[in-house]
Amino acid sequence: MQLMRAAMLSLRMLSRNPLRAALAILGIAVAVFLLCVERAVHAGVQEATAANERDTRLIVYRANRFCPFTSRIPERYLEDILAIPGVKSAVPMQIIVSNCRASLDVVVFRGVRGVDAEKTLGARMRVVAGSMREFLDRGDAALVGSVLAERRRLQVGDRFVSAGIPVTVAGIIDSDELQDRNVCYVHLPFLQASAGGIQGGDVTQFEVEVTDPKLLLATATAIDTHFAPDRAPTSTRPEKAFVARAAEDLVAIAEFAGWLGLGALAAVFALVANSIILSLESRTREIAILQAIGFRGTLVAWTVVVESIALAFAGSLLGAGAAYTLLALGNFGLGAEGVLVEFQPSLTVALGAMSVAVLVGVSAGFVPAISVARRSIVEGLKTA
């Protein structure tokens, strides 16, 4: 009960200088906002590039090529790939991107054959608006990923143009696959013609499904060995490894963002410590009087710790709430070389950032709390 009363007294003292408290809370909110965004960036990159033992998908790309604009593989490779032991299915894809380098707003077109869209890709996609039939019946139709559709505010029947490719939205798809939610599937012959090629000519890559995850690397080696003497040698990687290589710029951004997160925590520490120290200096006499009427040193220190907790909690709640709302409404993501990384809002990230910020804030208040607890009544009255 005594601790509760001391805590209430600490909060009343904090409210006596609302401007200083508000500025400290606002500064902490900005720092926690940056920390939450940094964690979202890191989590998005981790989700897109982290491999696991259940992965069964390979990406066959042109050797020594990076941007989709430079990767050209004959579509006729399809039959040879399907004949390689361990291959379950293979989907030839033409890819055109609006921007090959790292960008916040990238539109990725993936040209696929109608039969692949219906059977192979359709097994992992859910059409949430429009229909697959509408897509198959129209040559310039597009199946738009749900995140891309929301970001561009697209609906079924809309016509939009990006990278010089005009398409009509025939359906909006959702999927557990990160890349499917962020791309625009169109007919392969249509995209080949739009890129200046011919039907049945070159494609950008093949998406290969293997029969067993244990055969992933062996199958990749077999594919590259088979096409090594051909005019277009290949470089085959597991899908997550391919994304990790293509997203090197994004990985570098995530690594830099880690330093931003550490800076944000340092800012929280400095803001809480500065606010507490200024607060204690302005009420040195009041603290001495509290000690004179029976407040023990530990109880006085407790009031300082409560003040630190209040500042850190209020600021972190404001910052984490703002970050979560912005990420939820913005559908932000980064794209590079035809692969995309989502920055999804996460309550776990928000609560984790708040917890860390509060712990840092409490630690910032410990030194002033110990200092004021050791100060004698006479010293406090003289200082005042």
Provide the pLDDT for residue 349.
81
The torsion angle over the Cα atoms of residues 289, 290, 296 and 302, rounded to 10 degrees, is -130
Provide the pLDDT for residue 21.
76
pTM of the model: 0.70
Q: Kindly report the backbone phi and psi dihedral angles of residue 129, in degrees, each rounded to the nearest multiple of 5, phi listed first.
A: -155, 145
d(CA 126, CA 305): 52
Q: Which residues contact 154 (CB under 8 A, 6 or more apart)?
A: 144, 148, 160, 169, 172
Provide the pLDDT for residue 221.
92
Question: How distant, in Å, are the alpha carbons of 111, 191, 234 from that of 200?
Answer: 12, 11, 18
Helices (H) and strands (E) in the chain, counts: 14, 14
Strands (E), 41-158: 57-62, 73-74, 87-97, 108-112, 125-130, 141-145
Residue type, 109: F
Provide the pLDDT for residue 353.
82
Provide the pLDDT for residue 155.
92
Instruction: Average pLDDT across each block of 10 residues of the chain; the chain has 384 residues. List them in order.
Output: 58 68 81 83 72 77 83 91 92 83 75 87 86 90 88 89 88 83 89 78 90 89 92 88 67 69 76 68 58 60 74 86 84 68 78 83 72 56 50
3-state secondary structure of 218: helix
Provide the pLDDT for residue 192.
86
